[in-house]
Amino acid sequence: MIKRIMVFFLSLILLILINITNAWAHGVHNIYGFGSRAIAMGGTHTALANDSSATYYNAAALTECEQGVLELGLMRSFSNLNLSLSGDWDALSTMTGLDIDELEAKYEDVDELTMISMSMAVPMWKSPSDKPLASMGFALSTPLEYAVRFYFIDPKEPMFLEYTNIANKINIMFASGLDVAGVLDHLADIEIPGVSLGIGVNAFFNGDGLMEAPPMQMSLEMPFDYGLIAGILIKPFQTLIEDEILESIKLGVSYSQDIKMNMDFTMDLMGMTSGFSSYDLWNIEQWRFGLGINPLEHLTVGIDATRFTWSDYKPPYMEMGEGPFKDLMGVDFEFEEFKNIWVYRVGMEYGLLNDSLKVRGGYYNRPSPVPDQTQVTDISSNVAPGETISEVNYLKNLHDYVFLGSNIVDCDTHGISLGVGYSFTDTISADIHFQYRILKERKMVKEVDEEHQEWEDEINNHFDYDEDEDFNATLTGGGGTWNTGMTLSLSF
């Protein structure tokens, strides 16, 4: 056992040293999943995890790993996101300098994402019958290059929520699981239905850097932060009923705490220094509920429901501190609260060739947490006595934000996945997956309400528009993403 512990911690330390300067894409696990087997089954692993991916899906399921396992993963993701701006966006582009053709083209050429992962699960304590009673696990993943570029999220510029930003940070999940039923049976000869508990931490490590683009110099600091992960796995009919189907039923519940961070920047432009910060929610608080069952020989079916608490999300826009640039960002942007959502998943796995070959498939539905972006930004507090809105726009460079308010683009998503796994020996296996995510086309229309009618009248006068013509800007988003990958597993 001491040897296993040494291998585990030496591997963990080595991984940190190798990857500490690499990048971690915002919300990658929440978008695509973790591990080829789980992704191929639609992410239905809250109750079905039996490998090192349990560190992410349900720490209690680490006790399902009968042997130590080291897994190496590679994933390649591609995007085809469509963005269309119509209606009065043409007039707004004249006011704001926003190049609509350039903006739409940006999402037709999103950078590809190549990720590598390494994870491990190690039984630390076994019963005389060689059943794991306590296990530990960790998971780490990092892009080989910047995933999608880094953008400051500007309210005047529409942005896809999930695919736009990347940060230079490393994330490690570390967890342990305890088979409570097994421990009671081993130590006190008490038999109860299967119950395992798990707990761990999801940590983001410090990052800082200096970017120079003469005459501007910018420093960035991102603090350390972490969140709790916990889970429970129940086999309700184990030891109670002698029925293979009922005994195969597993119920899983897991929790992942949100991780909220503020990235602090200091900008120096020709001797003028200003500070500003940007809010990022690196991990959405989520509750996962899962059911796993073997209704037929060689067939495994999983059903999951995940609740994401998006209502805690704050506007991701920059906030300016004291300094000469503060007036350039002096608007309080209208931001409607995000909605909490449920993501429903179903997956299956069928074994062939004495279960050495596994065929998998899965589906999930994710409604968008983003409300329709119809709001406009109220700048009336920035209008001084005797000034008109147009004068404020051009004299104080606030015209970028007059009507646009928040422009976060997001769509309802359907995910379809397929995969296969093959065991070459008792200790070596490989899994591959393919996943396609369909972003259902969504159209959002910005209109000026009665409260801001005077703005519309003034803009109509400024551009010699018909006074009776209503402001109407339409934003349409959609498209799809697909990814494929492989996981190699070595048992020991």
Q: Which pLDDT score is estimated for 51?
A: 93
Q: What distance in Å separates the CA atoms of residue 66 and residue 331, rounded to the nearest whole number?
A: 57
Top pLDDT among 345 and 398 is at: 345
In contact, 160 and 410? CB cutoff 8 Å: yes
Omega cis (within 30) before 215? yes
Q: Which pLDDT score is estimated for 449?
A: 62
**DSSP 3-state of 486:** strand
State the average pLDDT over residues 205-229: 59
Q: Which pLDDT score is estimated for 211?
A: 45
Q: Which pLDDT score is estimated for 85?
A: 78
Q: Is the pLDDT of residue 358 over 60?
A: yes
Domain definitions of the chain by residue range: 2-491
Q: Which pLDDT score is estimated for 402?
A: 44
**DSSP 3-state of 19:** helix
Q: Is the pLDDT of residue 322 over 60?
A: no
Q: Terminal CA-to-CA distance of the chain, rounded, Å?
A: 12
> What is the pLDDT of the chain when averaged over all its residues?
76
Top pLDDT among 23 and 50 is at: 50
Q: Which pLDDT score is estimated for 43?
A: 96
Give the best-scoring range by mean pLDDT among 187-201, 362-376, 378-392, 405-419. Answer: 187-201
Note the pLDDT tens digit of each residue in 432-461. 999 999 999 999 887 766 665 666 666 556
Q: Which of 315, 465, 467, 407 is nearest to 85 (CA)?
A: 407
Q: Which pLDDT score is estimated for 7?
A: 43
Scanning the structure block, which residue is given the tokens 């646009």? 404
Scanning the structure block, which residue is given the tokens 């030891």? 239
Q: Which pLDDT score is estimated for 464?
A: 54
State the average pLDDT over residues 428-432: 98
Q: Which pLDDT score is estimated for 11?
A: 43
pLDDT category at 324 given cuts 50, 70, 90 is low
Q: Which pLDDT score is estimated for 16?
A: 35
State the average pLDDT over residues 353-362: 96
State the average pLDDT over residues 243-261: 91
Q: Which pLDDT score is estimated for 399?
A: 39
H/E stretch holding 291 = strand 286-296
Q: What distance in Å separates the CA atoms of residue 45 and residue 288, rounded to the nearest whole number?
A: 9
**pLDDT cut 70: percent of the chain above it:** 60
pLDDT category at 86 given cuts 50, 70, 90 is confident
Q: Which pLDDT score is estimated for 24?
A: 33
Give the best-scoring range by mean pLDDT among 4-18, 140-154, 223-237, 353-367. Answer: 353-367
Top pLDDT among 18 and 83 is at: 83
Q: Is the pLDDT of residue 357 over 60?
A: yes
Top pLDDT among 291 and 218 is at: 291
* Beta strands at 225-235 and 250-256: parallel, antiparallel or unpaired: antiparallel
Top pLDDT among 470 and 147 is at: 470
State the average pLDDT over residues 372-400: 52
In contact, 37 and 419? CB cutoff 8 Å: yes
State the average pLDDT over residues 257-280: 65
**CATH entry 2.60.40.1230 includes domain 2-491:** no
**pLDDT cut 90: percent of the chain above it:** 42
CA 213, 154, 439, 56 torsion: positive or negative?
positive
Q: Which pLDDT score is estimated for 356?
A: 96
Q: What distance in Å separates the CA atoms of residue 205 and residue 168, rounded to the nearest whole number?
A: 10
Q: Which pLDDT score is estimated for 313?
A: 75
State the average pLDDT over residues 76-81: 85
The dihedrals phi and psi of 118, each to the nearest 5 degrees, come to -145, 130
State the average pLDDT over residues 280-286: 76
Q: Which of 358, 333, 334 is nearest to 347 (CA)?
A: 358
Note the pLDDT tens digit of each residue in 127-163. 998 999 999 999 988 776 544 344 445 555 677 767 6
